[in-house]
Structure 1
Amino acid sequence: MRGYAERFDFGKQTIRGWVYDEEAEDNRDVRVVATFDGEIVGETRPSATRNDLQKITTQDAWFSLECSRAFTALDVVSGRFQVKALSDGREAALSLGADGLATLKKTAVEELNGESSSSTTLWSSEERNAVKHQVEAGNLSPMLMPAGLPSMDGSAVIGLRGHLFLTEGNNSLLSLYAEPVDDALMSRVDRWMDVLAQRGEGCEARGTRFVQTIIPEKLTVLRDDAPVDIEGPSPVLQEIESRLRDADFYVSGLSPFEQWSDVDDPFLMADTHFSAVGAQRMFSALAAQIDPQLVPIVDAVRMYQFRYAVGDLTGRFKLPLYSRIVEPSDDELAAYADGITMIENHFPADGGMRGRRFRWTNSTAPSPLKVLIFGNSFFGTGDFAGYLSWWGKHLFSEFHFHWGPDFDWDLVDQLKPDVVVGQTVERFLNRVAAI
């Protein structure tokens, strides 16, 4: 059996994670139990799929376990509190992810010191404030570290010029680049083509335009900075791009980053996502397909404000590694900002990403189009110009982002958008999306 106890909520007495038993016919038969001093205090079974687990299994593997008694980080770290999987007479303790374990250890120390259990740092409040002020002032110190140094959990590495790269994770990213061009790969590409064709037909039947794009991995775009041998896009992305080269609905995610000459990189240093200039380039490519009048507006936006922030890869190294963020000032798209109104900001009750919805109207937008996106974190919350949604909410009269890999045709029928955009990323091509 494989799995992890990933998230602990000590206030709600819940644990979330995933488990998969290769020997079970139905993974929902696996029992997940929590024990305190050997006594069972909670039990559940896998009840949902999760996109990042599709390479491991398509069965229900994600679980949420509520306990009947309170427990603390000290209880978990000391072993008094345990999470186990039981299946067909076999038992396996669920491992703690490296990130979760480090957080638990820090929280346990804070509990020993009488500090708040909600804090995830060993620093005192005075030290945290001092560090915050140094970061806000831009007083960060560059340090030389060896390229190829792995993260604590082995899922990421340090590259050249200070970039961090995801290499493993639940999608076994590096294996995607080593995948042979065989019948299995071609069959998967064929299924992707069928899905995209059916999406196009579904949109056409509704009088809506269909656009699809696939955003490449940071490893693909900045492979010269990666400490691993990456010759180009993964074979599956290369094959899909080749087949869709002349498709009128497809916007290449590779083309905007070929022969990059900008002084700023298209991806953030401590993150797997776009910098503001990377998002600008990608959105310009999308705009050329959706509403070409927007291209000169997007391309004219200047980036000249600076700040610093940690990224989604920072926690894997257990070091305060920052990205230097270059972004536009509020003046750049001020002419289109006054009319922006957020009409929905929905977060699922399970705390996950899939199912989040962000919707805006904009009475001052230069484009009259209503656009609906089915995508992921590259569109994000729209709070920062590195998110594609930031550009969309400024430039379209209505911009709707639904966080998920599959099309929700009921939502399409409800909103009646002018354009529906499907977006995924290179690492998710190992799982063919639904129509």
Structure 2
Amino acid sequence: MTRRNREIIHRGRDGWLFLIGGTNGVLLQYRRSLAGWWHLRRWARLIEARAARAQALGIRYIHTIVPEKLSVYDDRTLDLDYDARLSPARRLARRLDRMSGFVDLVAPLRAARDGAEPLYRRTDSHWTYEGCLVACRALLRACGAVAPPDIADRPRFPHDGLWDLGDKLPDRPRETVVNWAVHRDASRAYASPLVESYEAEGRAGDLHVGAHVIYRNPSPQADPRTLVLFGDSYAHFAPIMLTSFLAETFREMHFVWSSSIDWGYVERVRPDILMFEMAERFLVRIPSDDFDVAAYEKPGMQKPARQAEMAPLV
């Protein structure tokens, strides 16, 4: 495993690429250790504390971890020495199996992985719209909500590109993916000056932590509640992926790109639902929950650090 972890990308079967190294030491997270046990225990306690704090405010707390491709498509790796059953997301789910607000995404994604459409892109670390919809339906069940009945029938279009894992290889393999035009009823009601400045400069793809937007949905079929989501690129501030599905479902949806929660913001908005979403590889860090949305509401500020570039707290 040590040799493998020096590599960043694993070439699996039929052109499937997997992130195994990098700053987060992805493959190293799939092993048993006392330090890992204590680390996941700290995560469980943080999640329970968040849920209790939200409940005290009259808010439902939903927490989920987006699995790595390694956790879902272990059958498409090639002679890779790891055990997908030791996925940190799976182990955390077992710890919190009695907590109604913790939504395990590993199980539903693994159950659907052999369907006609892939749930993750072959040459990217992110899920496809099919995978995102599987996850969204699980999250909505926990919220007591239902997506629009035609959500899976929204227009689709092919998009050829060089994606994040392929871009790290010398031959730079490209892939044509199928994107969905989910966004229809909801519209963006607010974008922070930071988001607007990056978009105006054509650099929206460079913006990550600190992005803050609000969507509103006037459809009479929309769930009348307000949802605040602290998440990352699997949701996004643009009307794509998980953000698009949630914005099309709820009357009002706030997105903040952060692994830490700004409780002051939550108390000001007082949403019906507070949701937290994060990629499994970022479990290596315990967030401090001292995020300040207002500190990122400035145009022209220097590029915020990616979560993957921040020093691990383990």
Range into which the TM-score falls when normalised by the shorter chain: 0.7 to 0.9
The alignment partner of 1:412 has SS state of: helix
Alignment of 1:22-33 (within 5 A): none
1:165 paired residue among 12, 15, 18: 18
Say if 2:156 and 2:178, in contact at 8 Å, map to a contact too. Answer: yes
Counterparts in 2 of 1:347 and 1:302: CA distance versus 1, 3 Å: same
1 or 2, which has the higher helix percentage?
2
Distance 1:235 1:156 in 2: 18
Q: Is 1:361 the counterpart of 2:212 in the alignment? A: no
Matched with 1:156 is 9
Matched with 1:9 is none
Counterparts in 2 of 1:258 and 1:302: CA distance versus 1, 3 Å: farther
The alignment partner of 2:89 has SS state of: helix
Matched with 2:286 is 432
Q: Is 1:209 the counterpart of 2:65 in the alignment? A: no
The alignment partner of 2:243 has SS state of: helix
The alignment partner of 1:421 has SS state of: strand
Which amino acid in the other structure matches residue 382 of structure 1? A
Say if 1:216 and 1:233, in contact at 8 Å, map to a contact too. Answer: no
Matched with 1:341 is 188
Alignment of 1:105-254 (within 5 A): 154-178=7-31, 180-182=32-34, 184-227=35-78, 228-254=80-106
Which amino acid in the other structure matches residue 324 of structure 1? T
Q: Is the deviation greater in 314-323 or in 407-416?
A: 314-323
Matched with 1:414 is 268
Alignment of 1:249-264 (within 5 A): 249-260=101-112, 261-264=114-117
Offset of residue 242 of structure 1: 0.7
Q: Which TM-score applies when normalising by structure 2?
A: 0.79
The alignment partner of 1:200 has SS state of: helix
The alignment partner of 1:258 has SS state of: helix
Offset of residue 154 of structure 1: 3.6
Which amino acid in the other structure matches residue 354 of structure 1? V
Offset of residue 233 of structure 1: 4.1
The alignment partner of 1:280 has SS state of: helix
Matched with 1:371 is 227
1 or 2, which has the higher strand percentage?
1
Question: Cα deviations across residues 379-424 of structure 1 (Å, max 9, x unaligned)?
Answer: 013343xx21111122211111111111100110121111001112
Q: Which runs of 5+ in 2 are unaligned?
A: 199-205, 290-314
Q: Which runs of 5+ in 1 are unaligned?
A: 1-149
Offset of residue 231 of structure 1: 2.4
Aligned length: 274
Structure of higher RCO (CA pairs closer than 8 Å, 6+ residues apart): 2
What's the % identity of the aligned pairs? Answer: 23
Cα RMSD after superposing both structures = 2.5
Counterparts in 2 of 1:408 and 1:281: CA distance versus 1, 3 Å: same
Offset of residue 223 of structure 1: 1.1
Say if 1:305 and 1:327, in contact at 8 Å, map to a contact too. Answer: yes
Counterparts in 2 of 1:414 and 1:431: CA distance versus 1, 3 Å: same
Query: Structure 1 stretches (4+) deviating beyond 6 angstroms?
Result: none
Matched with 1:273 is 126
Say if 1:382 and 1:388, in contact at 8 Å, map to a contact too. Answer: no
The alignment partner of 1:353 has SS state of: coil
Q: Is the deviation greater in 199-208 or in 319-328?
A: 319-328
Matched with 1:138 is none
Matched with 1:402 is 256
Counterparts in 2 of 1:170 and 1:326: CA distance versus 1, 3 Å: same
Counterparts in 2 of 1:157 and 1:235: CA distance versus 1, 3 Å: closer
Distance 1:181 1:320 in 2: 35
Distance 1:268 1:262 in 2: 14
Question: Cα deviations across residues 294-339 of structure 1 (Å, max 9, x unaligned)?
Answer: 27554x43675323222111221143422221234x4xx68xx245
Q: Is 1:380 the counterpart of 2:247 in the alignment? A: no
Distance 1:320 1:189 in 2: 35
Say if 1:359 and 1:398, in contact at 8 Å, map to a contact too. Answer: yes
Matched with 1:307 is 159
The alignment partner of 2:146 has SS state of: helix
Matched with 1:322 is 174
Q: Is the deviation greater in 389-398 or in 208-217?
A: 389-398
Q: Which TM-score applies when normalising by structure 1?
A: 0.58
